[in-house]
Chains A and B, each alone.
Chain A
Amino acid sequence: MTSDNLPDKPASVASGAAATGEATGLSTPHHNSAGTNRNSNLLRRVFLSHEGVLLIILIASVLTLATQTDKFLTTDNLLNQCRLMAEVALVALPMTYIIITGGIDLSVGSILGLCAIVLGVAWKNYGLPLELAIVLCILTGALAGAVNGFFITMVGVPPLIMTLATLALYRGLAEGISQSRSVRGYPEWFYQLGQGQFWGIPSQLWLVIIALLISGFVLSRSIFGRALYAIGHNETGARYSALPVDRYKLIIYSLSGFMAGIAAFIFVSRVSTTRSDMGTGLELDVIAAVVLGGTSIFGGTGTILGTALGVVLIQLLKNGLALTGVKGDATIMVIGLVLIASILITNYARSRQSGQRSEH
């Protein structure tokens, strides 16, 4: 069965990141108190970590869904799901960074819409070369994110308020620029990223994998990543430790916009058209995936591996449940329940773990 190794393709990518994450102890960075005997505890820690719990839920879901319908566990279907989740996955990476610092970015969906419109209008209405329009689209995203970051760091607007405001503002801009007209008729090469494939794997999946590896590595091993955790736990302390808190926050919000810009490009390329309502509600999918992945909304904890598992789990549940004939509303409910269950299981596992430790 060639299709067998496909469902956990993203998962095995993720477990590649897990290896690096575990080696540095960063998979569950700040909840494990000093493990004296690291080797004997390693296996236990993997299964007691939030990522371990998610992996088990993921495997269980895939197996269950596979028995319910024979359309689910097929190469075509799974590859198609990879295409569908690329945008969420890309935007979820910087969102993980932002939530680790205790922030939030609600404007990513609107930025995606704005970028898509800029791409379409710049090419169609202003006659720019399509290559240039793509660059402009991504830069618009970065700029929109930088505006968020500027007001959050320099003016001191709380991230929730700022990005809630730009959620409306950027969407409004997108609608204004587009005049409610969609753009279509792109040249054939443009669809390569959204609809093409490379060595049998959807093109955008390559991009996702690369972004995943880089951002996971940066978060777990670099000064930047370390600083994000520090900021999330105690921003004042980080500042007094001479970490460039404001610069790093500016960077992550800009990065968030930048990724939304790339996601916009992929999105347009995948659906062959540009509309101003693109990406509506994307922010909630992204935040749900990040939180399901174990990133604390209060800041200070979270991993890229967790986020990757969160994205994959949500997408497979949506798809699998739809294929087994479950209605849309029920699907959302199941996702909500899984979210709650995963967090409860992790908390239970952790409390047991620390309980055992204080016993002896």
Chain B
Amino acid sequence: MIAATHAPLNTDNKPVLSLQNISKSFPGVKALQNVSFSINTGEVHALLGENGAGKSTLIKIISGVYQPDSNPDNSLSKHKRTADDTSKIQLDGITVNLDSPRTAQKHGIATIYQELLLYPELSVAENIFMGHAPRTRFGTLDWTKTRQLAREQLASLDIHDLHVDQQVGSLSVGNRQRVEIAKALSQNARILIMDEPTAALTGTDVERLFRIVDLLRQRDVGVIYISHRLEEIFTLADRVTVLRDGATVGTRDVSDTTEDLLINMMVGRTISELYPKQPSVIGAPVLELENVTRAPLTKSISLCLRRGEILGLAGLVGSGRSELAQTIFGITPAQSGKIIHKDRPVSIKSPAKAVELGIAYVPEDRSTQGLIREMRISENTSMAVLKELSNATLIDTKAEQLLADQSIKKFAIRASSSEQLVEKLSGGNQQKVVLGKWMASRPEVLIMDEPTRGIDVGAKAEIHRLMSELACQGMAVLMISSELPEIMGMSDTIAVMREGELVATFDAADATQEQIASAMMGSGTTTRTAAAGDEAVTAIHGTASSQPGIDP
């Protein structure tokens, strides 16, 4: 019954929202230039583009966070928007001014960001009706009705396994996302923007999300769907719009396009090889671990990192891969076992010691671990090598500047200058700053933890090429990745971790995806078949997310 009240009266194929010639610039960067975009009722419209292509800016304009630049001819007043043909936003054919997130919300535009904005301490029902809960005759909150409506809202989305009294903080990411969707719909959203909704999801959660998106389509909600995963776009979307360097490259019906074509549109060139792994000469061991243990997730690990070798470390999320990396890097020092650095036993008690031994760690979470986002590019680039850049204890700011400029050039970081704050950069460029920072320390052992997570295809290939180059120059690389194609494509040797133990090691040339997958899950688990995409990978993710802890 709720679904019925939401159904708008629009007929199919009529744009509910259309943007024309939208531009937006920030100091030093033109984020969007004359972008046009429209979405029909009951349509899933994918938005595709590399990091920094302007997707985030565009959705922030649609959701009222940013205001587009006014037309250049009447640029003086920022707020006065004329009915000029050159730049406008229309809802149901009427020009609107989305001057704040609140206005956008009133117009039925809801956004689900990557970082979910729920109150973890409150219940599901309270979250869904936050700010617009039904009231009793006396003006107090009507809890019975709130809970009943919340139940109906969830049921209308075919969600039956969530209890409305559950605390949101105790839910999995996938469930929290469902709550967020229910919340958006409870505010009569007609347009739902989903910013990389599957980035943090795995297997079954992804499938369930797809079913919900399908339901939304049936309810005539327009969904703007942003994702880096091309296969999702083919499963889910009706149309796709590709952005590149802040401009629209084109809009296509998904049925009329191919993956290659989309990649071509995104990067402006064809990527023949996403995994440009060059054969390298594998030399002497640089770092050997013998029974290294650190409670709770590093259990008696023995590993050998050799010059010129890329060791791919596979495993489910929570299998202890990052914990192992942090133990090697001295953040959580080993409690027992031996670490041998070039035939000499060493003890790595701090990151400083690890850096001294030529170990660098590009961490999984670049915004909290990898970078100081509030500081400048130059200050971030120099952070691991401040000692080298200083005379006695004073920092040589000229040398620092030079290093940053070199790094920007070498890694093609898109920034207005080395003085720019890192938080103003796009995700891919931020990752390049992290790489630049650690390359400055000229490491012999490079640990990369999910090096291409949340990064677009172009930057991904670039980072892979760099990784291969470094290995060819004799660096030992330990690459942690949850993407099996990446593990298969880049590694010389593949090691698999499960529940804190190293369970298998393969020579990359001989290994098959199935072998690695079954090692990751343990032998007892049955492989599930998925509708689309890579079966093994989907199955793995499914196991990881739906039944944590049930794994044998």
| Interface residues in chain A, defined as those with a beta carbon under 8 Å from any beta carbon in chain B | 24-25, 30, 33-36, 218, 221-224, 226-227, 229-230, 233-234, 236-244, 300, 357-359
Q: Quick check: A233 and B354 within 8 Å, CB to CB? A: no
How far, in angstroms, from A223 to B382 measured CA to CA in the complex? 10
Which of B25, B370, B376, B386 touches A240 (beta carbons < 8 Å)?
Answer: B370
B151 to chain A, nearest CB (A): 40
B480 to chain A, nearest CB (A): 15
Which of A221, A243, A244, A359 touches B383 (beta carbons < 8 Å)?
Answer: A243
For chain B, residues 349 to 394, give those with C-beta under 8 angstroms from any C-beta of chain A. 350-352, 354-355, 361, 363, 368-376, 379, 383-384, 386-387, 390, 393-394
How far, in angstroms, from A280 to B374 measured CA to CA in the complex? 37
Q: Quick check: B386 and A226 within 8 Å, CB to CB? A: yes
Q: Does B157 contact A (CB under 8 A)?
A: no
Which of A34, A237, A242 touches B372 (beta carbons < 8 Å)?
Answer: A237
Complex A-B: 8 CB contacts under 8 Å: A24-B397, A30-B376, A223-B387, A229-B375, A233-B372, A233-B373, A234-B373, A358-B26
Which of B363, B383, B424 touches A230 (beta carbons < 8 Å)?
Answer: B383
Q: Which chain B positions have C-beta within 8 A of A221?
A: 394-395
Q: Which chain A positions have C-beta within 8 A of B370?
A: 237, 240
B15 to chain A, nearest CB (A): 30
How far, in angstroms, from A35 to B416 measured CA to CA in the complex? 10
How far, in angstroms, from A265 to B329 measured CA to CA in the complex? 45
Q: Told that A222-B393, A230-B375 touch, could you supply 11 new A-B pairs with CB distance under 8 A? A: A33-B420, A33-B424, A34-B27, A36-B28, A218-B393, A223-B393, A226-B383, A233-B375, A234-B374, A239-B351, A359-B78
Q: Which chain B positions have C-beta within 8 A of A243?
A: 352, 383, 386
How far, in angstroms, from A48 to B46 measured CA to CA in the complex? 44
Q: Quick check: B379 and A357 within 8 Å, CB to CB? A: no
Minimum CB distance partner of B360 in chain A: A242
A38 to chain B, nearest CB (A): 9
Q: Quick check: B390 and A230 within 8 Å, CB to CB? A: no
How far, in angstroms, from A237 to B380 measured CA to CA in the complex? 10
Would you give the 0/1 interface string for B333-363, flagging 1 where the beta carbon is closer than 8 Å to chain A? 0000000000000000011101100000101
Q: Does B421 contact A (CB under 8 A)?
A: yes
How far, in angstroms, from A63 to B50 measured CA to CA in the complex? 58
Q: Does B115 contact A (CB under 8 A)?
A: no
Q: Which chain B positions have C-beta within 8 A of A242?
A: 350-352, 354-355, 384
Q: Which chain B positions have C-beta within 8 A of A359?
A: 78
Which of A25, A223, A227, A240 touches B369 (beta carbons < 8 Å)?
Answer: A240
A144 to chain B, nearest CB (A): 26
Q: Does B417 contact A (CB under 8 A)?
A: yes
Q: Quick check: B420 and A223 within 8 Å, CB to CB? A: no
A71 to chain B, nearest CB (A): 44
Q: Does B178 contact A (CB under 8 A)?
A: no
How far, in angstroms, from A103 to B9 measured CA to CA in the complex? 57
Q: Does B437 contact A (CB under 8 A)?
A: yes
Would you give the 0/1 interface string for B298-327, flagging 1 where the beta carbon is closer than 8 Å to chain A? 000000000000000000000000000000
Main secondary structure of the interface of A (DSSP, over half): helix
Which of B363, B379, B419 touches A226 (beta carbons < 8 Å)?
Answer: B379
A31 to chain B, nearest CB (A): 9
| Interface residues in chain B, defined as those with a beta carbon under 8 Å from any beta carbon in chain A | 25-28, 78, 329, 331, 350-352, 354-355, 361, 363, 368-376, 379, 383-384, 386-387, 390, 393-395, 397, 416-417, 419-421, 424, 437
B32 to chain A, nearest CB (A): 14
Q: Which chain A positions have C-beta within 8 A of B373?
A: 233-234, 237
B281 to chain A, nearest CB (A): 29
Given A224-B393, A226-B379, check contact A241 B420 (CB 8 Å). no
How far, in angstroms, from A229 to B386 measured CA to CA in the complex? 14
Q: Which chain B positions have C-beta within 8 A of A36?
A: 28, 416-417
Minimum CB distance partner of B353 in chain A: A242
Q: Quick check: A234 and B368 within 8 Å, CB to CB? A: yes
Q: Quick check: A223 and B395 within 8 Å, CB to CB? A: yes
How far, in angstroms, from A234 to B383 measured CA to CA in the complex? 13
Minimum CB distance partner of A26 in chain B: B397
Minimum CB distance partner of B438 in chain A: A241
A126 to chain B, nearest CB (A): 39
Q: Which chain B positions have C-beta within 8 A of A233?
A: 372-375
Q: Quick check: A34 and B416 within 8 Å, CB to CB? A: yes
B247 to chain A, nearest CB (A): 20
How far, in angstroms, from A241 to B379 measured CA to CA in the complex? 11
Given A35-B419, A240-B361, A357-B27, check contact A223 B331 (CB 8 Å). no
Given A230-B375, A233-B375, check contact A241 B368 (CB 8 Å). no
A235 to chain B, nearest CB (A): 9
Given A30-B374, A230-B375, A242-B384, check contact A222 B355 (CB 8 Å). no
Q: Quick check: B420 and A34 within 8 Å, CB to CB? A: yes
How far, in angstroms, from A241 to B355 measured CA to CA in the complex? 9
How far, in angstroms, from A357 to B386 measured CA to CA in the complex? 31
Q: Which chain B positions have C-beta within 8 A of A25?
A: 419
Q: Quick check: A240 and B421 within 8 Å, CB to CB? A: no
Q: Quick check: A244 and B372 within 8 Å, CB to CB? A: no
Q: Which chain B positions have C-beta within 8 A of A224?
A: 393
Minimum CB distance partner of B418 in chain A: A34
Which of A33, A35, A218, A241 touches B384 (beta carbons < 8 Å)?
Answer: A241
Minimum CB distance partner of B355 in chain A: A242
A304 to chain B, nearest CB (A): 15
Q: Which chain A positions have C-beta within 8 A of B387?
A: 223
Minimum CB distance partner of B351 in chain A: A242
Q: Quick check: B393 and A238 within 8 Å, CB to CB? A: no
How far, in angstroms, from A281 to B424 measured CA to CA in the complex? 42
Q: Which chain A positions have C-beta within 8 A of B421?
A: 30, 33
Q: Quick check: B27 and A358 within 8 Å, CB to CB? A: yes
Q: Which chain B positions have C-beta within 8 A of A24?
A: 397
